[in-house]
Structure 1
Amino acid sequence: MTHIWLRAEERESEERVGLTPEGAAALIAKGMKITVEESPARVIPLEGYIKAGCATAPFASWADAPQDAIIFGLKELPETDQPLHHRHIMFGHAYKGQPAGQRLLKRFKAGGGTLYDLEYLVDENGRRVAAFGYWAGFAGAAVSLKALIAQPNVMGPIQGYPNKDALIAELQREMTAIDLPRAIIIGALGRVGTGARDLCAALGIPVAAWDMAETASGGPFPEILDHEMFLNCILADPSVPVFVPQSAKEAPRALRVIGDIACDPSSDFSPIKVYDHVTTWGKPALRVHDAPPLDVMAIDNLPSLLPLESSEDYAAQLLPSLHGLGDLTQGVWGRAKARFDHHIAQV
C-alpha cells in the first residue's frame, strides 16, 4: 500500500499545502493510505482531512514515520545535518549549486533517502506538471507595487490575504497616493509572467511584456531602467542573460523597484546582480541604493500571500501525478528520480 505522509510546513508564514481533503479522498479510494500531520498554520483545517479518511500524526513527526512512507511537503526542511532516510516530495532547491541545497543533498546521501523535487516533476516534453507560478507572479507583482507605494520609506511587514479580491481592493486604496507606475515584465508569456500581468491589468498599470524574443540579444537592456517597476519572471539558468547589472544602482533611471519573483540570488546564474539574498515577510524589500531609492523584493514563498487559492490550484494540477505514486520508476516520478541520481552522484 502506498503511504503518503503529509507533513506540516515548519517555515514561518507558510500556510500552503499540496493536497486538499478532496484529493486525499480520491487517493484513499484508490487504495492509498494518507497520514496528515497536525499544523497550527495550514490554510485547510485538519478536520477536512479526517473526514476524508486520513490518519493524523503530531506536528513535525515525519522523521519517525514508517520507513516506507513517502514524506510530502512543499517548502524546505529544518536546516540540520540529520540524515534523511525517507523518500521526500518537496521543493528542494538543490540542483543549481545553492549552498543550502548542497547540504540537503549530503543529508540524503548520508541517509540513503531520495528527493523527488517538485520543480522537476515534468512530462515527456519537459514541461512541469504542476506549478505555483501563476500565484507567485500575481503576489510578487502585488508586493513589488507595495514597495513602490511605500517609498521613500522601506516597506514594512506583510501578511497573507483571504483571497485575491481583498488584496486588489487594498492596493486600489493605497495607489491613490502615487502616480500610476510603468512596469516591465520579463518572462511575460509564462505562468509567472501571466500572474504578474493579471495583477497589473486589474490595477490599470501599463506593462511592457517581454519574453524570449525581446531578450535574445543577450543585453544590455537599458529599457528596464526606463520603468518604475521591473518584474523578473525568468528562473536563473546558464542561458539567461543579466537583466540588471551591479552598475544599475547608480545609473540614471526611472527604476525604483525590482520584483525578483523568480528569486534565486544565491545562484551563479541570477540575472539580477544588485543583491545577494532573499527578502522576508518581515522585511519584504531590500534597499540597495538610497538616492534615488532602489528596492528589491525577493520573497521565495510568494504564493503564500494567497494561500487558499494557490493551494487549491496547485493541488488540482498535482493530483493526477500523485495517483501514479504506486510505481515510482515510471513517468514523472521516474524522471525526477533520474534527476536526483545525477546530482547525488556529484556530492
Structure 2
Amino acid sequence: MTELHLWLRHEVRSTERRTPLVPSDARRLVDSGVTLTVEESPQRIFPIEQYAAVGCRVAPAGSWASRAPEDAVVVGLKELPDEPAALTHRHVFFGHAYKEQPGAEELLRRFAAGGGALLDLEYLVDDHGRRLAAFGYWAGYLGAALAVLQHRGRLAAPLTPTSQEELQEALRPVAGDEEFTALVIGALGRSGRGARVALRAAGVEPTCWDLDETRDLDRPALLAHDVLVNCVLATSPIPPFVREADLDDPARRLRTLSDVTCDVGSPLNVLPVYDRTTEWAEPVRRLHKEPPLDLIAIDNLPSLLPEESSVGFSGSLLPLLLEFGVGGPWARCLDRFHQACRELGIDEGEFRRV
C-alpha cells in the first residue's frame, strides 16, 4: 500500500457538500502508508484544516488535472469538469455512464483519449453484485422527507443543507395536517429503508412494495396513493411504474412523486414521465395540472445531510481503499468499465490496468 497515492478532488457542483473520505478515515489511510492529497474546497462539509491535521497533503481546488502524478487515483463523487478533454488518471466517482445516460459516451471517450479509467462507485460490488459503498439510505430518507414536506405545503425553496435532528423536527405532524397515504417502491433496499424511516417520523405508515409486488404491477393500486417514493434502480428493462397515460387518469389520486433513483435519460427509467431532474433552487416541478402531480427528482439528495451521509459512506469505502488494486471489487469495477468501452467500439488495450 505504500505506493498508492489518492487525490481527493474538489467537487465542481456548488451544491455538493459531501465527501467520499472524512478526516478520521483519511488518518487511517495516511497511517497505513497511503499518500493522500486533498484539494481545498469551499463547500466541503469538513474544512481542509482537519485533513491537514491528520497528515494529508493540501492542493488547490481543481488542481488534479495539472498536478496529480499520472499514477495517482483521483477520488470524488459527482461529475467531472468539462476540461481536460483527455483524462489520464484513474478516477473513482459516480460516472453514470453505463446505461446510455446523456453524456455517457462523451465521458468514456475522454478516458480513451487520455488512457485513464473510470472506477465507477455504483459498480463497486461484492461477489453477489451488492454495492459495497452507497449513499442509498440517506437518499431514500431525504427523498421521502421532501415528499412529505411538499405534500403538506411546507417545503421551502431553495433547499439548504441541514442536520438530521432539524429535519426530524420539521417532519413531525402538526395540528391541521391532513392524513395521506404513501407508497415506497423498492422498500427492502437501502434507499427504501431510509424512506420508510422518514415517513414514519412524519407519522405516516407507508405501503411497502418490492420485487414481489412489482412483478405483476397493480397500477390502479399504485395510483390510489397520495405520495409515491421510487427507490428502484432497474438493471434490466421492466414495465414503467407511471406512464404518460396515467397522468390524464381522472381517478389518479397520486399527487406527489419523489424519484430517488433519478435514472432520467436511461432506457431503464421506470418513471418515463419527465425528461430532466429538479434542482435545489427549484426542487419541485408540476408535471400535470389536472389532476395535479408534483415531481421531486434531485440527483444529489444526500448532500442535504452532508455530514451524516459522508461519515457513513466513508466508513464503507475505507476498507476498500485499504485493499485498492488487490483485485476483487476493484477488478470487477475495472472490468465493467472495459465492457462499456468495448460496447462503444473503443479499444480496451488503450487503457491502464489497476
Normalized against structure 1, the TM-score is what? 0.94
Tell me how far apart the structure 2 counterparts of residues 277 and 79 of structure 1 sit (CA, whole Å).
20
Instruction: Say whether the 8 Å CA contact 1:92–1:117 is kept in structure 2.
Output: yes
Instruction: Say whether the 8 Å CA contact 2:74–2:91 is kept in structure 1.
Output: yes
Paired letter, 1:55: R
Shift of 1:99: 2.0
Consecutive unaligned residues of structure 1, counting only runs of 5 or more, are none
Paired letter, 2:221: E
Tell me how far apart the structure 1 counterparts of residues 131 and 57 of structure 2 sit (CA, whole Å).
30
Tell me how far apart the structure 2 counterparts of residues 280 and 39 of structure 1 sit (CA, whole Å).
21
Instruction: Say whether the 8 Å CA contact 1:67–1:85 is kept in structure 2.
Output: yes
Structure 2 vs 1, CA of residues 169 and 342 (structure 1 numbering), >3 Å: closer, same or farther?
same
Instruction: Say whether the 8 Å CA contact 2:287–2:294 is kept in structure 1.
Output: yes
**SS at 2:6 equivalent:** strand
Tell me how far apart the structure 1 counterparts of residues 256 and 190 of structure 2 sit (CA, whole Å).
21
Tell me how far apart the structure 1 counterparts of residues 39 and 265 of structure 2 sit (CA, whole Å).
31
Consecutive unaligned residues of structure 2, counting only runs of 5 or more, are 345-354
Aligned twin of 2:253: 254
Aligned twin of 1:56: 58
Q: Deviations over 1:279-323 (max 9, x none)?
A: 111111111111232011110000011000000001001111010
| Alignment of 1:300 onto 2:299 | yes
**SS at 2:159 equivalent:** coil
The 4+ residue runs of structure 1 with deviation greater than 3 A are: 175-178
Instruction: Say whether the 8 Å CA contact 2:171–2:201 is kept in structure 1.
Output: no
Tell me how far apart the structure 1 counterparts of residues 84 and 246 of structure 2 sit (CA, whole Å).
39
Tell me how far apart the structure 1 counterparts of residues 178 and 104 of structure 2 sit (CA, whole Å).
42
**SS at 2:315 equivalent:** helix
Shift of 1:111: 1.0
| Alignment of 1:95 onto 2:98 | yes
Shift of 1:273: 2.2
**SS at 1:77 equivalent:** coil
Instruction: Say whether the 8 Å CA contact 1:155–1:285 is kept in structure 2.
Output: no
Tell me how far apart the structure 2 counterparts of residues 141 and 346 of structure 1 sit (CA, whole Å).
36
Tell me how far apart the structure 1 counterparts of residues 175 and 116 of structure 2 sit (CA, whole Å).
53
Instruction: Say whether the 8 Å CA contact 1:236–1:262 is kept in structure 2.
Output: no
Instruction: Say whether the 8 Å CA contact 1:303–1:310 is kept in structure 2.
Output: yes
Aligned twin of 1:130: 133
**SS at 1:345 equivalent:** helix
Shift of 1:202: 1.0
Tell me how far apart the structure 2 counterparts of residues 185 and 81 of structure 1 sit (CA, whole Å).
41
Shift of 1:242: 0.9
Aligned twin of 1:86: 89
Tell me how far apart the structure 2 counterparts of residues 240 and 320 of structure 1 sit (CA, whole Å).
34
Shift of 1:155: 6.1
Paired letter, 2:161: G
Aligned twin of 1:68: 71
Tell me how far apart the structure 1 counterparts of residues 31 and 302 of structure 2 sit (CA, whole Å).
30
Paired letter, 2:220: P
Selected match of 2:49 from 47, 54, 59: 47
Instruction: Say whether the 8 Å CA contact 2:26–2:56 is kept in structure 1.
Output: yes
Q: Deviations over 1:211-241 (max 9, x none)?
A: 0011111x35211111110011001332432
User: In the TM superposition, what are the counterparts of 1:110-121 in structure 2 within 5 Å?
Assistant: 110-121=113-124
Shift of 1:87: 0.4
**SS at 1:99 equivalent:** coil
Tell me how far apart the structure 2 counterparts of residues 52 and 155 of structure 1 sit (CA, whole Å).
38
Aligned twin of 1:316: 315
Aligned twin of 1:336: 333
Instruction: Say whether the 8 Å CA contact 2:172–2:203 is kept in structure 1.
Output: no
Shift of 1:97: 0.4
Instruction: Say whether the 8 Å CA contact 1:181–1:206 is kept in structure 2.
Output: no
Structure 2 vs 1, CA of residues 298 and 322 (structure 1 numbering), >3 Å: closer, same or farther?
same
Compute the RMSD of aligned alpha carbons. 1.5
Shift of 1:146: 2.2
Tell me how far apart the structure 2 counterparts of residues 143 and 185 of structure 1 sit (CA, whole Å).
14
Paired letter, 2:25: G
Paired letter, 2:241: F
